[in-house]
Amino acid sequence: MPSIARPALVARRRRIALVLLQIGGPDRLDAVGPFLRNFFSDPEIIRLPGLLRAGVARWIAHRRTPVAREIYRQLGGASPILLQTRAQGRAVAAQLRDLGEVRPFVAMRYWHPFAAETAESIRAWQPDEIVLLPLYPQYSTTTTRSALADWDVAARRAGLVAPTRRIGAAPADSGFIAAQAELIRRAWPGDGGRHRLLFTAHGLPLSIVQAGDPYPDHVRVSAEAVVAALGIPDLDWRIAFQSRVTPQAWLTPDTEHEVKQAGQDRVGLVLVPIAFVSEHSETLVELDREVRAVADAAGVPSFIRVPTVGVHPAYVAGLAAQVRRALATDLLQEAA
């Protein structure tokens, strides 16, 4: 009897779920209030007992919603951060095709898609491994730790069992620093006038810093690495903090204060949003419109705002390298 050829077994490609963790933003004007309530209800943001925190969150959100709605109205009614985060996910996944089937997912902290929604989608896909990639270059309990804790709850409730790797904060990651430096060089004025490089980062209440949050130290690490990469002799540079939203003491110096100081010093400004990797309300409105208006009123001779790193090739390559290292390290440890 002639032998019957059996169909060859085709091995399934390794499936890796790449989860980008980001803050999120309202996708319509009606979502501004709920987004703010979610934000201020985070125990890492408002460090009060549950019921008291909920009351304070409602009060702050109610007070800030009209102002925030106007900000998002200037952005066309929605935050652009989700579209940009998805683009970043696609760009990173494209550099990891050799590892198998790498599918990017987005889990936002304070608005859709929430971690719970994303965890359910990942469970349905049935990956072999999960990689968590927080898009916060500098670690803070209010961002990275909050996002990871939120994911842990969502993953447990969804019944995810695939091995999960976590990417740590990398304030001096070579890709991130190279992207920042290249964008600054591209934006730096060629008129020969005197300019000051001002790194601006989201602020943080001093009480959180005093509790051990490393965020301001990480911001300085990033800024110093960028300055070193630029290699400009006698560069005039400073760090400042923006976006204060509560009445307690926050990190200083304040960005608007430094802008006014530049006016007094008659020096042009090149602003770098060092802690943001996507354009959103704090860059497109706060910096580009509100802070620029302060600069104009203060007589700053030149005001240039450097774009966020977005999908800059160096930044994307740096993120992809971080994913590779995390996977390789964990696999070697498991093999041992």
- Known binding-site residues for Fe(2+) equal 202, 282
- Of 34, 13, 17, the C-alpha closest to 161 is 17
* Angle in degrees, 0-180, between the axes of helices 146-158 and 115-125, rounded to the nearest 10: 50
**Burial tier of 171 (Cβ tally within 10 Å: 0-12, 13-18, 19+):** buried
Q: Are 57 and 46 in contact (CB under 8 A)?
A: yes
Question: Which are the contacts of 265, defined by CB distance < 8 A and separation ≥ 6?
Answer: 196
Residue numbering of the annotated binding site: 202, 282
**What's the CA dihedral at 41, 45, 46, 49 to 10 degrees?**
70
Q: Are 25 and 82 in contact (CB under 8 A)?
A: yes
- Give the C-alpha distances (Å, rounded to integers) separating 80 from 18, 27, 35, 298: 21, 8, 14, 30
- Of 82, 73, 76, the C-alpha closest to 23 is 82
